[in-house]
Structure 1
Amino acid sequence: MKFKITAFVLLSFSVAQGQNILNNPGSNHGNKFEQLGGILATPNMYRAASGAPGHGYWQNRADYDITAYLDEDKRNLKGSETVTYYNNSPDDLDYIWLQLDENQQSTVKKADYQSSSTLPKATTDQQLKATELPAKDNGYGVNLEKVTDASGNPLKYTVNRTMMRIDLPKILKKGEKFIFKIDWNYNIPNRMQMGGRGGYENFAEDGNDLYTITQWYPRMCVYSDFQGWQNHQFTGRGEFALVFGDFKVKMNVPADHLIGGTGECKNYSEVLTAAQYSRYQKAETATEPVEIATLDEAKKAEKNHSKQRKTWVFEAKDVRDFAWTSSRKFVWDGMRVTIPENNNKVMAMSFYPKEAYGLYRKFSTKAVAHTIKTYSEFTIPYPYPVAQSIEASNGMEYPMICFNYGRTEKDGTYSEAIKNGMIGVIIHEVGHNFFPMIINSDERQWSWMDEGLNTFTEYLTEEKWDNKFPSRRGPAWTIVDYMKLPKDQLEPIMSNSENIIQFGPNAYAKPATGLNILRETIMGRDLFDKAFKTYAKRWAFKHPEPADFFRTMEDASGEDLDWFWRGWFYGTDPVDISIEKVTVATPDFDTPPRTSSETKYKTDAPVQNKYDDISKIRNREDKSITFEVEKDKDLQDFYYRYDRGQEKVNTDKEYTFKSEGTSALDKSDKERLKNITAYQIDFANKGGLVMPLILEFTFEDGSKLKDKASAQIWRQNEQEVSRTYYFSKKLKSIQLDPLRETADIDTENNFWSSDNSSAEASKFQLFKQNQQGATRGASNGKVNPMQAAGKKN
């Protein structure tokens, strides 16, 4: 039931302020180019000043042995896990924290991070239940059945909404491990109605479900050198901070289901039909996708719901998480991909229902293969044996498996937007294998470290897929509308995930755009790519923080980028650089050259301190001090004696100093330089964010020239600068940022034309430069007291 409500709509914004500390806020300089200094965490033995892991770096580990039972009739998942947790930290631990993410689906167990709400114009009966008081338990969330140690002894635990603390029976010291067991179950939510990353989608036409089983088991939190326990609540947005480990998972499902999961299946020969297993073996050496489970088989399976059961066994090493999918609707294809950098043989695979066949069969597995190969070029070689894409009408990532959308119309046609969107989301989600599944940042705190870095590398990968690919995020011009927003609707990239208003532009697009500007405009591709690969290599299978990324990019490139991190990541200022004024000047050959001149002067008097300060007085009175010039008589030169009145010089006598003038240009020089025109271009930094000055000059004869001044030109005046150029032909126009590389929010003030110019006309005098100049340390031709006294020592 829907109904209309007339209401006033009140908007409110919660702005998270970044810690962009200014050293000299009242000045036009000394702010934007100051080092980040105390803003970044202090380097230590765990995290080096270079951005690399320190010599004392450590991280804890957790291995999982899990069994799961999928009850399709009740839409319930029952699980039992044995966790072996290794304390590699130097700290004693008396409790540990786990994540119970499925509690976010519960009306009574969720984190309950509420937002401001207003009366809607229309709503649904289901949405009315959101504010039922008192809240009624909707039956979702984790039901803990048993929590014990390895011997079966009960453990004390506390559940705080989406987090769970287990009190250890004894202190867990460095180098020790603790083994414990948890039995649990939960009702699987309808993902299409309730939202979230995991759950089921029901296909009413054939009466089948497609299950995406994610964040499904109690998972260890990260205990780190920089934060201790990362036990922030899961609200549905900020994603995950997880430890690496080995997984062995057994999944008992209806016998006609197919399963895709993290890692490698160890019993395909037992769970597949003979024909399917034969096709899988063929796919292991194929260079084109082979249908392992065919479309016809999927259509037939939809019609019969088996009451038999099968158990699939998967294993994965050095992963931070495990996810899986199960359905009888799946078509399944795969092929072998070789990663050139490490010669790793990877099975690229896709699972999809018939509704997606027209798109997924043609594009999905090849997009998976392209992604892992391209990311391997820009980061580290893909290390895992499997990479797969599952069509599940959403977009979410886990190690070696991700869930994406991409379905055709019933007649098999599709729009170009759906096709490109599907390819883009597959690249993005498969790319998450690198950020953050391997380069394992804390997504719950710093979304940009996985979403932003991944979106940037996604853009590079889309570009290598098709030069005409319509990337939504990455090019500088695509972020302009976001950067134009009022400051009260913005927050710095360096904001906690939960506090961001416009999550997509802030966590995905702005960091991706910033990195692309660094690569294309500021650092150059070669320098940037080497530094970016260094970061990926240093922090693969580790837990990086923002400072580790910032410092590594500078350490590996030799570029001081603190000004960029400060402005783009810690601030909310946009780029808006304008051409304020152009002054045009031509040579003045008629002004007579400056002739030589004479000035009168007197030689220097003895050097005397202006004030006999207390230190000098006390040093003279201190009989234990013997001054060097008194100990070594060879140091007592003419000026030692002169300053003490022992040498006499007439300081009233006047001398004459002659200075050279300038020379007129000869006829040939005037002819050569007669067409010279000077242009002084005055720029204003209206937006606040400094950027390089990129100029394209178009001359009256149609020719063009380009020039770029680095962002450092703003270091002595962050508000306005000028550049002067001398050309032998006249300018028709000047274009600032011609390729829209800097995300300038106002391009209307980036252009000057001589046709409608209000440029000031001026003259500049032009002479021949004489060869003159003083030698550093000499007296510039004037008589010094030693010369006046006729002495050389």
Structure 2
Amino acid sequence: MKCQVQRRMLFTLSFIFSVTLSFAQNYNTSKFKQLDEELPTPNVYRTGSGAPGHEYWQQRADYSIKAELDESIHRLNGSEKITYTNNSPDELTYLWVQLDQNMRATDSDTYKISQNQLRDKATVDQMEGIDGYPEYDGGHKIQLVKDANGKDLTYTVNKTMMRVDLPKPLKTGESYTFQIDWYYNINDRNLMGGRGGYEYFPEDDNTIYTITQWFPRMAVYDDVNGWQHKQFLGRGEFALPFGDYEVEITVPSDHIVASTGELKNPETVLTEKQQELFKQSKTASKPVVIVSQKEVEKKEKTKAKDKKTWVYHAENVRDFAWGSSRKFIWDAMGVEIDGKTVMAMSYYPKEGNPLWGQYSTEVVVHTLEVYSKFTIPYPYPVAISVEASNGMEYPMICFNYGRPNADGTYSDRIKYGMISVIIHEVGHNFFPMIVNSDERQWTWMDEGLNTFVQFLAEREWDENYPSRRGFPENIVPYMKGDKNNIMPIMTNSESIKQFGNNAYGKPATALNILRETVMGRELFDYAFKEYSTRWAFKHPKPADFFRTMEDASAVDLDWFWRGWFYTTDHVDITIENVEMFEIDSKNPQVELAKLKQERDGVRPNITQVKNKEENLPRKIDTKSGLKDFYNSYDPLDVTADAKEGYESYKKSVGKEEMQYIADRRFFYQVDFKNEGGLVMPIIVELEYEDGSKELKRIPAEIWKMDDVVVSKVFITEKPVKQFVLDPHRETADVDTENNYFPRKPQMSRFEIYKRDSAARGAGRGSNPMQKAKKKNN
């Protein structure tokens, strides 16, 4: 028949419908088993609703730091005073301080545990990197550790952690101030990699410094882990307490400093013209250039020998970073967020123009607006994007990449790559700089959540934005890959395989599916904003996120967290079979006519075909007396008895049932199978023979009683031509060929390419803009 589905049988309309439930699965292995056993028990610090408890507490660390940059030998010298406040109910006999630069020390475990393989060829730099660049003397060099009165304190350095022993226990509510003097040799970031360091420009003999993880920083002490002092190996990022910062940064006088916080002495480090331009930028409708490319090119040729000190103040931040260079062009523009003016600013070398001058600050503004809508209003006074051929985030400042070709042209890949990294790194102000998750333990809580909101911001930038992560189909190649090379999202940061897919792509996609398919935008957006509000300037854990999303939406999501975050299952739901039913009307003139039509439409078998070709004679046709009543009898003929039976049936069922039969509905039983193991809502499109379509959405709970095979009956008023699963590609189903019934062949494409190499975020080869420019010239 036209609909190409199997007609199985007629059924008789009755007053009672029988429903059989399958209890094939054990609750202990059920996809819908609640997460109570996996999540920590609620307490006075963290509630079952996912909110901070009435006795929630967190520590505080305030800093006063003086740092001086020695450009001649790429060294940073520093002295800091830390005031640590114990808000916990515990007495502390020692404090743990993070020495992240020790990751680059010659005896670093980072180099020791890195796997190495020899190829056919290698550079000298690559070979030296195996042993941690022995010519580079890395790591924090601790000069002294003293109390507020100048008395030496006992301390022990254990790789990237330093324990400071207290003269007496630090009781609840007490504060303790101590001093650390130190220096370290700044790493060549292009050679050694890393989040911070310096980049040297041989063309003009100048340097850009991005100073990160630069001072000894307090570790987190909380109600879940006690001290979070897992060693810093390079991948698992940072867990830090909040506090206020007073920072004095001494650099060559012709440098421009971009920094966390607000500049407190503009009159001593900026010219009068620069101060006036900065003032104008606060109310400008487009970025105002405060330090121009012309000024920068002049400074690049004459290096100042004297120095200036920039003073910055930052309140309620968990970290502090800065950049310094005479190469920095600087532009700024104010943006109103929740009734307050935030200064969106960009710092970049001439190598970043014209791309950076056109886009960077505008993208910062856009990011603040979108993230503030979906989380909380941006609370800080500034947000800075620095071009540093990098990608890393800190409170109020981030370092990004994206340089055009030398002729000023760029590909769309470079353009959108730059915009995406700026959105992503500025977005990190919200996750984890404000909603302050433990990055050393759970990368997905900052990278995954941030990548999700980045996706929302990209969609609001341009409808045709080529988003890399967020769309469900983009995660399919990872989800259907070799399970030996895939780990659950709920894996410690240092143990993750396929880091980008696991910590960024998969959680971002999961949240997008939650928003669009499982919960709906209204419920999701409210719950996500509630989580952001509850845990702003606090230390949330995974359970706090999971519980808040359910608490604020009244949606049981344990099955979703379990499948997407605790397993490596993938989505592959198939339409196994479709069977068509129709009501037996009992009307012999209708039903027997249908049966005759079906019988007459049956194609002959091969034996019948061959006999007809041979014109095979039959005995009953050649000899009289062999035919009887049954040779002329047709059981599908309408008889008087059949008509009489139909009249009796009409009297027995009543008018309502007869009207239901007369309305002529179509009944389809569709059998679905879960091949991938990850249960999801069933989204099925019915394409009718007249060309119209209808979408049916079935919640994931249909799999509760059997998470392998389920059946669903669809009653339609028109015949169905085809059934299609997940027509909008919203569930990350890894095999779309089995989403059609009848099956529909799928087309795939591939291309041949030649691999090239270039620095991260740099233009490669020619691009359409360059070709057009040459043609016009």
- Give 1:588 deviation, angstroms: 1.4
Distance, in Å, in 1 between the alignment partners of 2:37 and 2:546 is 14
Secondary structure in 1 matching 2:524: helix
Kindly provide the CA deviation profile for residues 445-488 of structure 1, in whole angstroms up to 9, marking residues without a partner as x. 00000000000011011111111111111111110000011211
Aligned to 1:507: 503
Letter in 1 for 2:542: P
- 1:108 equivalenced with 2:111 (yes/no): no
**Aligned ranges 1:625-644 → 2 under 5 Å:** none
1:239–1:443 Cα contact (<8 Å) kept = yes
Q: Which amino acid aligns with 1:231?
A: H
Report the counterpart of residue 64 of structure 1 in structure 2: 63
Please give the alpha-carbon distance, in whole angstroms, between the structure 1 residues aligned to 2:714 and 2:74: 73
Contact 2:106 2:134 (C-alpha < 8 Å) held by counterparts: yes
In the alignment, is the contact (CA less than 8 A) between 2:25 and 2:706 conserved in 1?
no
Aligned to 1:469: 465
**Residue 264 of structure 2 contacts residue 313 of structure 2 at CA under 8 Å; is this kept in 1?**
yes
The structure whose residues are more often helix, as a share, is 2
In structure 2, the CA distance between the partners of 1:491 and 1:63, relative to structure 1 (3 Å rule), is: same
Name the structure 1 match of 2:37: 38
CA distance in 2, matches of 1:58, 1:229: 14
- The answer on whether the counterparts of 1:46 and 1:58 sit within 8 Å (CA) in structure 2 is yes
Q: Would the aligned equivalents of 1:240 and 1:444 in 2 still touch at CA under 8 Å?
A: yes
Whole-Å Cα distance in 2 between the matches of residues 662 and 178 of structure 1?
93
Aligned 8 A contact 1:46 1:53 in 2: yes
State the partner residue of 1:241: 239
Distance 1:684 1:328 in 2: 63
CA contact (8 A) 1:28 1:718 kept: no
Aligned counterparts of 2:422 and 2:299: Cα–Cα separation in 1: 26
2:384 matched to 1:388? yes
Find the aligned partners of 1:322 and 1:143 in 2 and give their Cα distance: 19
- What is residue 740 of structure 2 aligned with on the other side? 751
2:24 and 2:706 in contact (8 A); partners too? no
Alignment of 1:531-610 (within 5 A): 531-590=527-586
Aligned-pair CA distance for 1:669: 3.7
1:663 counterpart SS class: helix
Task: For 1:708-747, list aligned pairs within 5 A.
Answer: 708-747=697-736
Tell me if structure 1 keeps the 8 A contact 2:571–2:677: yes
The number of residue pairs the alignment matches comes to: 663
For residues 180-199 of structure 1, what are the alpha-carbon distances to aligned partners after superposition, in whole Å with 9 as ceiling and x for unaligned?
00000011110010000110
Distance 1:308 1:755, change over 3 A: closer
The 5 A counterparts of 1:125-164 are 125-131=124-130, 136=134, 138-164=136-162
In structure 2, do the counterparts of structure 1 residues 291 and 577 end up closer, same or farther at CA, with 3 Å as the change threshold? same
Offset, 1:587: 2.1
Task: Using the TM superposition, give the Cα deviation of residue 668 of structure 1 relative to its aligned residue in structure 2, in angstroms.
Answer: 10
Residue by residue, what CA displacement relative to the aligned partner does 1:518-546 show, whole Å, maximum 9, x if unpaired? 00000000000000000000000000000
Shift of 1:110: 4.7
Q: Distance in 1 between matches of 2:708 and 2:26?
A: 10
CA contact (8 A) 1:67 1:249 kept: yes
1:435 match: secondary structure: coil
Paired residue type of 1:307: K
1:187 aligns with 2:176: no
Task: Note the C-alpha offset of 1:389.
Answer: 0.2
Alpha-carbon distance in 2 for matches of 1:270, 1:709? 66
| Letter aligned with residue 468 of structure 2 | R
Distance 1:374 1:401 in 2: 18
1:177 to 175, 178, 188: 175
Does structure 2 retain, via aligned residues, the 8 Å contact 1:682–1:721?
Answer: yes
TM-score, length-scaled by structure 1: 0.81
Tell me: CA distance 1:360–1:545, structure 2 relative to 1, closer, same or farther (3 Å).
same
SS at match of 2:163: strand
Q: 1:335 aligns with which of 333, 347, 365?
A: 333
Cα pair 1:28 1:719 within 8 Å, conserved? no
Shift of 1:663: 2.9
Q: Deviations over 1:701-751 (max 9, x none)?
A: 111111110000000001000011121211111100000100000001000
For residues 351-377 of structure 1, give each alpha carbon's deviation from its aligned partner in whole angstroms, at most 9, with x where no partner exists.
000000211111100100010111000
Paired position in structure 1 for 2:435: 439
Report the CA distance between 1:208 and its aligned residue. Answer: 0.2
Map of 1:209 onto structure 2: 207
Residue of structure 1 equivalent to 2:763:
none
Distance 1:700 1:406 in 2: 51
Deviation at 1:223, TM superposition (A): 0.2
Instruction: Give the one of 402, 416, 421 matched to 2:417.
Output: 421
| Structure 2 equivalent of residue 308 of structure 1 | 306
Q: TM-score, normalised by structure 2?
A: 0.83
Q: State the Cα deviation string for residues 146-186 of structure 1 (Å, max 9, x = none).
A: 11011111111111111111111111010001100000001
- Check the 8 A contact 1:29/1:715 in 2, yes or no: no
Alpha-carbon deviation of 1:677? 1.8
> Do the aligned partners of 2:683 and 2:697 also contact (CA within 8 Å) in 1?
yes
Listed as ranges, the matches of 1:754-765 within 5 Å are none
The 3-state SS of whatever aligns with 2:737 is helix
Contact 1:103–1:110 (Cα < 8 Å) also in 2: no
Distance 2:27 2:729 in 1: 26
Residues 400, 418 of structure 2: 8 Å contact kept: yes
Task: Letter of the 2:45 partner, please give it.
Answer: Y
After superposition, where does 1:239-318 map in structure 2 within 5 Å? Answer: 239-318=237-316
DSSP-derived class of the 2:113 partner: coil
1:276 offset after TM fit, Å? Answer: 1.2
Does the C-alpha gap of structure 1 residues 100 and 668 become closer, same or farther in structure 2, counting only changes over 3 Å? closer
